[in-house]
Structure 1
Amino acid sequence: MTQSVDIQAFAAQIAAKLTGPGGPFEMTVEQVLGAPIPLLKDRARSLVELLESSRAHGDRDYLVTADRRVSFAEHVEAAGALAAALAQRYGIGKGDRVGILAANDPDWVLAFWAVQCLGAVPVGYNAWWAPREIAYGLEHSQPVVVIADAKRAELLAETGTRIPVLTMAGDLPKLIAEYRGEFPKTAVDEDDPAVILYTSGTTGRPKGVVHTHRNLVAISNYHRFTDGMLDGFMGKEYDPAPRDRRYLMTSPLFHIACLHNLVIPRVVTGDAVVIYQGAYEVDRLCQLIESQRVTHWAAVPTMASRMLHHDLSRYDLSTLSAFSLNTAPSSPALQARLRERLPVAQVALTTSYGCTESGTAATVANPIELAAHPETVGRPIVGVSVEIRDPDGTVLPDGEPGEICVRSPYVMLGYWNDESATAAAIDENRWLRTGDFGFMHEGRLQMAGRRSDLILRGGENVYPTEIENVIDEHPAVLESVVIGLPHDDLGEQVAAVVVVEDPRALTVDELREFVAGQLAYFKVPVQWRITADPLPRNVTGKVLRREVTMS
């Protein structure tokens, strides 16, 4: 216990030196959208400033795949050329939306940065969406152009959209070659929208989370600040020079984990992003870590868990120096197994808590604290305030569970084209109501539960209402309820109880095929129960999910 207190006190001293007057991360408090928010005093004011500064990294690797390398200099040049093409060929200007629908690829990143040059807003659509979901995204965000890989271009065609679609393999190289040497720039305000990413909502419709230039620049500065903390722990002054790190990217770019907290900050720190492509296979992943000398990996717990079923001694994973579990809770048992099998986990395992709306992690547990308190998700990061509140908004004392509320320069602007949902999520003082539940203990946050109906499947948030709406469209279905069931590998798997008049007239295969044609594969229930018995409901007619069983 004494050691833990001493470490926290030492960390506080380092942070105070970094953020105090004259420090490299001197902080100030400014009014942002009507609320006092802690901000870096000396900061960039837009993402384009960050992109332009990355020219200084020259020939250093920025984006790397198993068969492709893109340097920072090459990337900046290509982003400028593509931006010019979008502006001159398609009339893209400030505030226009440009959709990106693709699997992880350097061209996804390139498209994102090109759109920033124009003051336009990239929209990262879920690459696993079915045509029905894609059509909703297009209607909701109204992009002028969509940039897609070949597979998703075919899905876009199935929607019948008339929006121009530029393919990454075919169109982008030609446009970049034609406009090479140009670099348009459009002035933006810090609180202008910089990106829209979709997250499911409890109503069943995906919501477009809007993050601003202020949000994303602040997140990048947070990652620089962690470098400063590391230097401080080693007894050194903060050094902003590149550190030859190589970050493995295994989660989708349409998530904040990889876009906001990996790809964007690297233009500031000058480190490489090693992109894993294709379906997740442990052997291929380990081969990539070995061949590309990966140093950092932020993993979904399911991915880490699957590694434990393979012979890891066949690979040289010794370059891994930092390892974190993100996007979903990890059990103490999984943490212990990882420490037994994966050397980096013995000394560098961390975890965190955050959501799409929070922009980055709200809390982080360092290796020492996580080892001592395996159920914690850590302490608030620099610039973040966390409060636990009851349903009336009263702040609760230490140890008492309630809703986790967060305020920071990283929190979203709001939901695209949805004022009511924004007002429900963010109060007048810019506090984000996360809808998740937990409690504070000695400065550390511990989760007490998620949204009552949320299913966490392999790092993906699955909301039952969306799936129920599709199931209920089947002509034989009277009503349905979707729940999450524990699963050793995925954390949870999707299950459905379907009420029909005659259970013998409808098969599980028919239902599965019906849903699979309209929703992404990870939302399709794995377990089904077809019954004629009505669902349990309360006096107001709401389904009592906790009373639903699969037998």
Structure 2
Amino acid sequence: MKPYDMGLLFDECADRGVPTVVHLDRPFDIAPDAGTTHDVPALAQLVWTAAGWLAAAGARRGDRVAIVKDNHWDYDLLACAAVRIGAVPAKLSGHLAPESLAVLLGRLSPAVLVTTAEVLAAADSAGADLTDLCRTTVTVDRAHPRAVHVGELRQAAPPPPRRPREDEPLVIMHTSGTTGLPKLVVHSTRTIIGALARVEATRLPMAGVRRSDTVANASSYAHGRTFCWTASVLCLAPKKIVVLTDTHPDRADPVLRAHPPTVIEALPAAYVRLQPLTTRLDNAFRDVRLFASTYDAVHPPTVRGYLAASARRRPLWMQGWGQSETGPITFRFLGRKSAAWRNAGRAIPLRTRLRVVDPATLAPVPRGRPGVVQVRTPARCLGYVGEAERFQGKCTDGWWNTGDVGALTRTGSVRLLDREVDTVAGLSCLAVEDVVEDRLDAVAECVVLGRAGAPPLPVVVTADGTLDPAAWSAAVADLPRLAEPVVLTGDDVPRTGTGKVRRTALLAALTGNTATAGSGRWT
């Protein structure tokens, strides 16, 4: 089975007898009394019910339905419910600051906002009335004086399903927002389902999901990746799906032990947070044959730790590089003996083309020379909501400017160096981060911030916020000149909903200045 109509995805899987059982680490926010175990027919019923109360709240064909809540997979169930009635879901992370939410909701002008009283209260405290930015606000946790509680709508039956047109807006998600306010990315059925999910729903020899698999996911479900993953994983029909919303090791461990995964996909930040579990006796990752990561780079010590934790003979790590606007661009497989960590892999065959251009002239440069990476892919999004000019500024004759600096090797793979906005002459911030984390066991994370007119500023995260100065000096002795390191704990670092470091915010907090070494032209 290959996905197409996301509004009927769960119904079609139920009708085909997909035997998958889903295990949650906590009940859905939209069904708090339904427990933590669901089969596919039960999930289809949840989507049907949610479609009814979205329609009762006033959502109609072509309207936008914004979703802002706590992190859980029911983001995607709500999105499918909106698609079912012909509306366009917009998934916004509950981690966004109230001021950012207000700007993004202002651009969306949603007919219905699905949120929580807690989100509304936080916005009120910041002086932002989110209910004023939509026609109807629905809360899923508790009543709010300016909103309709979902309990008042649950008995409403949905209208007949409306099949989405292939090239019309299907879903809206936002970028991570590491350098500022996120962009609102619009995808169609053709771009995110036809060009991405249908490819992922193919059973591949090494990376494909098998019917006997237990597939775990620890992600930010407000982002576009899980919408695509939902479509493909249901059609592949594994034995179990395990959904993690909390990656605290002590709370995730019982869930993973009860349902040991054979395939796991997680945010890079989730892998870092769960890594202490890899060294426990009878660890929860002992049966994993495939680890998958997206969104951001994963540093070598983390990859090696997970591969070593697997009891499989040849476990694999699949690293994808891509963007919300394009989906995956390249992929690579790493094993226990892999090298060339900064190599992002090859373009996805038969679908994606890459080139590297001079950032000043946009003319292609020879292989091996650094430049800005551009991609041509049928999965490229339709545009940005409210920022058409910004979107067009990243398009050149069908090529999409990723804003990443890298080089094409002689074999056709991509070696990533930095985001253009972070570029520092004479070094790769990403490569320095890899080296520091590899050499210093005490460093859980290293972030190198490029600055205008000053040496790069290394920020290192340790468990207790301290670092041995002599160990640091020895570790960086052969590296390009760096400023003295700033040592923080993990809680001191501002992050996006996907766990990425908000580099601009961190630079501003540490230096009072947001001037970066790069131009930021393609952020």
Scaled to the shorter chain, the TM-score interval is: 0.7 to 0.9
Which of 347, 353, 375 is the matching residue for 1:380?
Answer: 347
Which of 92, 98, 102 is the matching residue for 2:65?
Answer: 98
Alignment match, 2:15: 56
Q: In angstroms, what is the RMSD of aligned CA positions?
A: 4.1
The amino acid of 1:357's aligned partner reads E
Partners of 1:544 and 1:368 lie apart in 2 by: 35
Alignment match, 1:406: 375
Shift of 1:75: 1.9
| Residue 290 in structure 1 maps to residue 270 in structure 2 | no
Shift of 1:115: 0.4
Partners of 1:530 and 1:156 lie apart in 2 by: 28
Shift of 1:252: 0.8
Cα offsets for 1:348-374 (capped at 9, x unmatched): 122121111112x21110235981433
The amino acid of 1:223's aligned partner reads E
Alignment match, 1:326: 294
Preserved contact between residue 286 and residue 309 of structure 2 (Cα < 8 Å): no
- Within a 5 Å distance, the mapping from 1:101-112 to structure 2 comes to 101-112=68-79
Shift of 1:295: 2.3
| Residue 147 in structure 1 maps to residue 120 in structure 2 | no
Shift of 1:201: 6.2
Which of 396, 414, 418 is the matching residue for 2:387?
Answer: 418
Preserved contact between residue 437 and residue 451 of structure 1 (Cα < 8 Å): yes
Which of 372, 386, 396 is the matching residue for 2:365?
Answer: 396
Alignment match, 2:182: 206
Preserved contact between residue 387 and residue 404 of structure 1 (Cα < 8 Å): yes
The amino acid of 2:166's aligned partner reads E
| Residue 122 in structure 1 maps to residue 89 in structure 2 | yes
Partners of 1:112 and 1:366 lie apart in 2 by: 31
Alignment match, 2:193: 217
Shift of 1:206: 2.4
The amino acid of 1:319's aligned partner reads D
Preserved contact between residue 169 and residue 189 of structure 2 (Cα < 8 Å): yes
Partners of 1:53 and 1:309 lie apart in 2 by: 40
Which of 312, 319, 326 is the matching residue for 2:280?
Answer: 312
Preserved contact between residue 373 and residue 403 of structure 2 (Cα < 8 Å): yes
Which of 169, 192, 195 is the matching residue for 1:193?
Answer: 169
The amino acid of 2:187's aligned partner reads H
Task: After superposing the two structures, state which structure 1 stretch, 124-133 or 154-163, moved more.
Answer: 154-163
Shift of 1:65: 0.9
| Residue 336 in structure 1 maps to residue 304 in structure 2 | yes
Stretches of structure 2 lacking an aligned partner (at least 5 in a row): 27-35, 143-148, 424-428, 434-442, 464-490, 519-523
Q: CA 1:530 to 1:329, structure 2 compared with 1: closer, same or farther past 3 Å?
A: closer
Shift of 1:406: 1.4
Partners of 1:246 and 1:173 lie apart in 2 by: 34
TM-score (norm 1): 0.69
Partners of 2:383 and 2:508 lie apart in 1 by: 35
Aligned residues between the structures: 442
Shift of 1:277: 2.5
Q: CA 1:334 to 1:55, structure 2 compared with 1: closer, same or farther past 3 Å?
A: closer
Partners of 2:96 and 2:457 lie apart in 1 by: 20
Preserved contact between residue 354 and residue 362 of structure 1 (Cα < 8 Å): yes
The amino acid of 1:54's aligned partner reads C
Shift of 1:487: 2.7
- Within a 5 Å distance, the mapping from 1:154-303 to structure 2 comes to 154-158=121-125, 159-160=128-129, 161-162=131-132, 163=134, 164-169=136-141, 171-172=149-150, 175-176=153-154, 178-180=155-157, 182=158, 184-199=160-175, 204-218=180-194, 219-225=196-202, 227-230=203-206, 243-260=211-228, 262-271=229-238, 272-278=240-246, 280-303=247-270
Task: After superposing the two structures, state which structure 1 stretch, 395-404 or 341-350, moved more.
Answer: 341-350
The amino acid of 1:137's aligned partner reads L
The amino acid of 2:169's aligned partner reads P
Shift of 1:444: 1.5
Shift of 1:486: 3.6
The amino acid of 2:60's aligned partner reads G
Aligned residue for 1:125, secondary structure, equals strand
Preserved contact between residue 79 and residue 110 of structure 1 (Cα < 8 Å): yes
User: Which structure has the highest helix share of the two?
Assistant: 1
Cα offsets for 1:171-221 (capped at 9, x unmatched): 446534x135x4622243211111111226698332101111112212111
Partners of 2:250 and 2:507 lie apart in 1 by: 26
Partners of 2:174 and 2:276 lie apart in 1 by: 33
Partners of 2:16 and 2:119 lie apart in 1 by: 33
Stretches of structure 1 lacking an aligned partner (at least 5 in a row): 1-23, 25-42, 233-239, 465-480, 491-511, 536-541, 547-551
Partners of 1:109 and 1:212 lie apart in 2 by: 15
Partners of 1:530 and 1:398 lie apart in 2 by: 37
Cα offsets for 1:221-254 (capped at 9, x unmatched): 12123x244499xxxxxxx9x7143332222112
TM-score (norm 2): 0.73
Shift of 1:453: 3.7
Alignment match, 1:365: 332
Preserved contact between residue 98 and residue 146 of structure 1 (Cα < 8 Å): yes
Shift of 1:526: 8.7
Partners of 2:177 and 2:71 lie apart in 1 by: 24
Identity of aligned residues (%): 21
Partners of 2:336 and 2:166 lie apart in 1 by: 35
